[in-house]
Chains A and B, each alone.
Chain A
Amino acid sequence: MSLEEHREITAKKPRAPYTKPTDISDPNYFHKVVDCQWACPAHTPVPEYIRMIAQRQYTEAYMVNWESNVFPGILGRTCDRPCEPACRRGRIEEKPVAICRLKRVAADKRGDIEHLMPEIAPKNGKRVACIGGGPASLTVARDLAPLGYHVVVYDRDAAGGGMMRSQIPAFRLPESVLNEEVERILDFGIETRFNQEVTSLKKVLDEDFDAVFVGTGAPRGRDLNIAGREDVGDNFHIGIDWLMSVAFGHTSKIGKRVVVLGGGNTAMDCCRTAKRLGGADVKVIVRSAFDTMKASPWEIEDAQNEDIEILNNHVPQKFLTENGKLSAVVFEKVKPEVDENGRRKMVPTGEDPVVVPCDDVLCAIGQENHFPWIERDIGLEFGEWDMPVVDKDTFQSTNPKVFFGGDAAFGPENIIWAVAHGHQAAISIDSFCQEKDIRERPAPNVTLVSQKMGMHEWSYHNDISNDDRYLVPHADKNFTLKDIKMEVELGFDEQLAYDEAMRCLNCDVQTVFEDVKCIECDACVDICPVDCINFIENAPEDELRQNLRVPANDLEQSLYVSEILPTGRTMIKDEDVCLHCGLCAERCPTAAWDMQQFLYKEGQAKNQRVAG
Chain B
Amino acid sequence: MSYIAKPKFHHPKLPRNDLGLTRRDYEGSMSTLCAGCGHDSVSAAIVEACFELNLPAHKVAKMSGIGCSSKTPTYFLSKSHGFNSVHGRMPSIATGANVANNELKYIGVSGDGDTASIGFGQFAHAVRRQVDMLYIVENNGTYGLTKGQFSATNDRESVGRKGQENAFECIDLAAMAIQLGASFVGRGFSGDKDQLVPMIKAAISHKGFAFIDVISPCVTFNNHVGSTKSFEFVRDNEHTVTATDYVPTKEEIKIEYETGTTIDVMLHDDSHVRLRKLDADYNPSDAAAAMQHIMRYQEQGEIATGLLYLNVNDTELKEKMNLVDAPLNALPFSQLRPGADALEKINNSLR
Contacts and interface: CB of A to CB of B under 8 A. Distances in A.
Nearest to A525: B44
Interface stretch (A130-138, A427-435, A462-470): A462-470
Contact of A529 (B9, B231, B235): B9
A6 to B, nearest CB: 12
A583 B6 contact: yes
B4 A527 contact: no
B40 A527 contact: yes
Interface stretch (B31-39, B87-95, B309-317): B31-39
Contacts of A464: 7
A470 to B, nearest CB: 18
Interface stretch (B10-18, B116-124, B294-302): B10-18
Given A581-B4, A589-B36, A590-B36, A521 B10 contact: no
B2 interface: yes
Nearest to A567: B235
Nearest to A89: B9
B191 A93 contact: no
A173 B145 CA distance: 63
A521 B9 contact: no
A299 interface: no
Given A521-B36, A550-B14, A588-B36, A92 B9 contact: yes
A499 to B, nearest CB: 16
Given A521-B191, A523-B35, A550-B14, A579 B40 contact: no
A529 B9 CA distance: 7
Contact of B219 (A93, A456, A521, A567): A521
B3 A456 contact: yes
A526 B191 contact: no
In terms of DSSP, what is the predominant structure of the interface of chain B?
Answer: loop
B9 A587 contact: no
A519 B7 contact: no
Given A92-B12, A521-B36, A521-B231, A463 B41 contact: no
Contacts of B19: none
A157 interface: no
B232 interface: yes
B5 interface: yes
A526 B42 CA distance: 10
Contact of A530 (B11, B37, B193): B11
B115 interface: no
B229 to A, nearest CB: 13
Chain A interface, DSSP helix/strand/loop, else mixed: loop
Given A527-B6, A583-B2, A586-B35, A521 B11 contact: no
Interface in A184-224: none
A551 to B, nearest CB: 7
A581 B40 contact: no
Contacts of A586: 2, 35
A522 interface: yes
Contacts of A244: none
B5 A522 contact: no
Nearest to B47: A526
Interface in B9-66: 9-15, 24, 31, 34-38, 40-41, 43-44
Nearest to A457: B3
A531 interface: yes
A523 B13 contact: no
B12 A91 contact: yes
A586 B2 CA distance: 6
Contact of A589 (B15, B35, B191): B35
Given A93-B9, A581-B7, A589-B219, A522 B193 contact: yes
A359 interface: no
B8 interface: yes
Interface string A13-44: 00000000000000000000000000000000
A529 B24 contact: yes
A381 interface: no
Contacts of B41: 521-523, 526
Given A456-B3, A587-B2, A589-B219, A530 B10 contact: yes
A281 interface: no
A231 interface: no
Contacts of B144: none
A579 B9 CA distance: 9
Given A521-B231, A522-B191, A589-B219, A550 B36 contact: no
B44 A526 contact: yes
Interface string A328-344: 00000000000000000
B11 to A, nearest CB: 5
Contact of A519 (B6, B36, B37, B43): B36
B252 to A, nearest CB: 23
Contacts of B8: 466, 529
Q: Most chain-A Cβ atoms within 10 A of its Cβ — which of B8, B13, B38, B232?
A: B13
Contacts of B15: 550
A234 B134 CA distance: 87
A551 B235 CA distance: 28
A93 B11 CA distance: 10
B255 interface: no
Contacts of A589: 34-37, 219
10 contacts: A462-B4, A519-B232, A520-B191, A520-B235, A526-B44, A527-B40, A529-B6, A550-B11, A581-B7, A583-B4
What are the nearest 8 A-B pairs in CB distance? A589-B36, A526-B44, A463-B4, A589-B219, A586-B2, A530-B11, A523-B36, A529-B7
Interface of B: 1-15, 24, 31, 34-38, 40-41, 43-44, 190-191, 193, 217, 219, 231-232, 235
Given A521-B191, A531-B11, A583-B4, 7 more contacts: A466-B8, A520-B231, A525-B44, A527-B40, A531-B14, A587-B2, A589-B219
